């Protein structure tokens, strides 16, 4: 979830609404964007409550705002890749992919929080950033049971960078395949996460933009398909509560479980 951080209007009421919702959901793994990891790291504790292990991106904007990854169980920092891949991409300081490994009840999970360039005309950079992130993940994925990639990708499902992630096309001689949790659980549903129906979008800096789905939870597929089953996927904070909209983005939540029939095996007939 991109929380539209403290520098933006109505933060206190929006923070309280986000915190109430996130604490009710009590997610095991959380990727947050636009949180003050440098200037006010306690905000993440305010949003999630106690019991989380938090890892912020190593770089933040001048006001301390950046991205963070939080896990219910202790995690190990695996790597972080600077995604400022071009001269014009340098203007976004916390453009990066952060990887941690966490031991969970369903096995060891590699989690990548991916934040590419956000600017509308920067799909070239997003393609390059997707390839760099995928290569980085492939370096470590063989050592774990499952891999998920999540974040605010700032690209629609038909963009080349997202087609690459979803296994629909190659880029730069590389191909991977990740299952899009929303597309799996809700085929045919546009699932917009940044929409003009939200007054914070209409009042914001990109008010003329088309409504889009740009926030994702992705499950890495092995040779025979994704290693986790998506049992549920929904949007979070996609409507006002007492006239308060939590953010200009809607969050995305998914339930992932080990499949009863693991990929690469045959189920015994009964």
| For the chain, domain boundaries | 11-257
In the chain, % helix, strand, coil (3-state, to 5) comes to 25, 30, 45
- Report helix, strand or coil for 93: coil
Query: What is the pTM for the complete model shown?
Result: 0.96
The pLDDT, as a whole number, for residue 270 is 72
CA dist list (Å): 88 to 6, 25, 80, 152: 26, 38, 20, 19
The pLDDT, as a whole number, for residue 257 is 97
Query: Pairing relation of β-strands 96-104 and 107-115?
Result: antiparallel
Say which DSSP state 136 is in: H
- Contacts of residue 143, Cβ cutoff 8 Å, sequence gap at least 6: 101, 108, 110
CA-wise closest residue to 229 among 139, 106, 133, 113: 106
The pLDDT, as a whole number, for residue 213 is 98
How far apart (Å, rounded) are the C-alpha atoms in residues 4 and 51? Answer: 23
As to burial, measured by CB atoms within 10 angstroms (0-12 exposed, 13-18 middle, 19+ buried), residue 73 is middle
- Report helix, strand or coil for 94: coil
- Report helix, strand or coil for 155: coil
User: Which residue, chain included where needed, has tokens 């088309």?
Assistant: 210
Give the Cβ contact number of residue 179 at 10 Å: 22
Note the pLDDT tens digit of each residue in 36-77: 998 778 999 999 999 999 999 999 999 999 999 999 999 999
Q: How many residues in the chain?
A: 270
What average pLDDT is seen over the chain?
96
Sites in the chain below the pLDDT cut of 50? none
How far apart (Å, rounded) are the C-alpha atoms in residues 119 and 101? Answer: 30
Give, in words, the CATH class of 11-257. alpha beta
Half-sphere exposure (CA, 13 Å, Cβ side) for 215? 26
Contact assessment for residue 107 and residue 256, using Cβ atoms and an 8 Å cutoff: no
How far apart (Å, rounded) are the C-alpha atoms in residues 11 and 34? Answer: 12
The pLDDT, as a whole number, for residue 269 is 76
CA dist list (Å): 80 to 56, 57, 148, 163, 204: 11, 8, 15, 23, 30
């Amino acid at each position: 979830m991109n929380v539209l951080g403290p520098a933006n209007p109505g933060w206190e009421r929006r923070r309280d609404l986000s915190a109430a919702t996130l604490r009710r959901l009590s997610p095991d793994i959380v990727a947050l964007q636009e949180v003050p990891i440098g200037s006010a790291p306690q905000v993440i504790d305010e949003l999630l409550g106690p019991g989380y292990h938090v890892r912020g991106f190593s770089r933040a904007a001048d006001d301390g705002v950046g991205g963070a990854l939080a896990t219910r169980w202790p995690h190990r920092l695996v790597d972080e890749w600077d995604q400022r891949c071009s001269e014009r991409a340098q203007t976004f300081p916390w453009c990066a992919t952060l990887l941690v490994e966490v031991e969970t009840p369903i096995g060891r999970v590699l989690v990548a929080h991916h934040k590419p360039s956000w600017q509308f005309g920067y799909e070239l950079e997003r393609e390059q950033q997707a390839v760099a992130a995928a290569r980085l993940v492939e370096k470590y994925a063989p050592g774990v049971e499952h891999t998920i990639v999540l974040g605010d990708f700032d690209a629609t499902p038909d963009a080349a960078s997202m087609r690459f992630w979803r296994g629909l096309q190659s880029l730069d001689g590389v191909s991977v395949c990740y299952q899009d949790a929303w597309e799996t659980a809700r085929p045919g549903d546009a699932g917009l996460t940044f929409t003009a129906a939200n007054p914070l979008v209409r009042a914001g800096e990109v008010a003329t933009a088309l409504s889009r789905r740009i926030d994702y939870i992705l499950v890495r597929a092995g040779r025979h398909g994704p290693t986790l089953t998506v049992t549920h996927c929904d949007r979070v904070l996609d409507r006002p509560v007492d006239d308060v909209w939590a953010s200009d983005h809607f969050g995305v939540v998914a339930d992932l479980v080990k499949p009863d029939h693991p990929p690469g095996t045959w189920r015994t007939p009964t």
